[in-house]
Amino acid sequence: MPTVTEASSPQSTQSGNARICRGCWDQMHMPIPIRGPLALPFRAFGITRSKMNPNICTICERSFRYVKKQSHVAASATILFADIRGFTHLSERIERVRLSEIVSLFQDRCAQAIWAHDGIVNKTMGDGLMAIFNFPIIRKDHAQAAIMAALDIQRLCAAALGSLDLDDLGDQPLGVGVGIHSGDVEIGEFSSFRSDFTAIGGTVNLASRLESQAEAGEILVSPETAAQAGALAAGAATRLLSLKGIDQPVEARVLVKRD
């Protein structure tokens, strides 16, 4: 099975410490200061750096309706799901305090990888998370950005989880599974009572289903994402998967981190 090393995006250097919100700039061409002295008056009005990505502001996330003047919009995006394989098994065996360390390591390393490639950590769910690429920060190469983030996730999590002393784990390896799919999604707020900014649609569900089939260390990429990602997915092994709720089998590309 071919392996792919972590690559650095030509665009990812943009993502250091942006002075203005990159989401508001990409979506509205509005310069909203998020770092430095100019950010202070905005902070007084509750506009701060988003927890989904420190290079966007809370307008992108909490005031989506204001940005888009509607509650949701169609967008082309790449969706990434990741979670810890073997976590349920582990959660039956080790102390909850140690579980919390593992969850912290996982969440922090994933966020680092996703932010480095301009994605947002949209949802966290204990030992899992969902990221969106190409919204609100626009990246034309969002399929590649997501794959590079996934490779970074695998590399960073392997190092972090490997450093833990988990004798109590037994024969079940602890690792991360990732699923990625690109396509049209509906992005916005889908609740009348909370500004719950997210993406929905078949694209999201297929990415989630792919992730559920990924073994520890694997990145399962849909044919659509692979086609957009060029060299990054070229030559990868394929695996034909029957996924719950999806009529046709999906020929996923299987990427693995380099040991």
> Residue numbers of the site for a second copy (CB under 8 A)?
46, 51, 54, 72, 74, 86-89, 91-92, 96-97, 99-100, 103-104, 107-108, 111, 121, 123-127, 130, 184-186, 188, 190-196, 198-202, 204-206, 209, 243-247
Which is nearer to a second copy, 4 or 129 (by Cβ)? 129
Q: Which is nearer to a second copy, 22 or 209 (CB)?
A: 209
Minimum distance, C-beta of residue 51 to a second copy, in the bound complex (Å): 4
CB of 248 to a second copy, least distance (A): 9
* Distance of closest approach, residue 100 Cβ to a second copy, in angstroms: 5
Nearer to a second copy, 190 or 239 (CB): 190
Does the CA dihedral 254-255-257-259 come out positive or negative? positive
Q: Which is nearer to a second copy, 121 or 236 (CB)?
A: 121
Residue with tokens 């990054």: 232
Smallest gap from Cβ 85 to a second copy, in A, equals 9
Strand partners, 132: 79, 120
The identity of residue 144, as a single letter, is Q
Shortest Å, Cβ 234 to a second copy: 28
Q: Which is nearer to a second copy, 11 or 195 (CB)?
A: 195
Residue nearer to a second copy on the CB measure, 33 or 86: 86
Q: Could you tell me the sign of the dihedral formed by the alpha carbons of 186, 45, 18, 69, in that order? A: positive
DSSP per-residue codes, the chain:
---------SSGGGGS--SB-HHHHHHH----B-SSTTHHHHHHTT--B-SS-TTSBHHHHHTHHHHHSSSEEEEEEEEEEEEEETHHHHHTTS-HHHHHHHHHHHHHHHHHHHHHTT-EEEEEETTEEEEEESSSS--TTHHHHHHHHHHHHHHHHHHHHHTS--GGGTTPPPEEEEEEEEEEEEEEE--SSS--EEEESHHHHHHHHHHHHPPTTEEEE-HHHHHHHGGGTTT-EEEEE--TT-SS-EEEEEEE---
> How far apart are CB 202 and a second copy at their closest, in Å?
4
| Cβ 163 to a second copy shortest distance, Å | 16
Structure tokens at 236: 């990868």
Nearer to a second copy, 51 or 258 (CB): 51
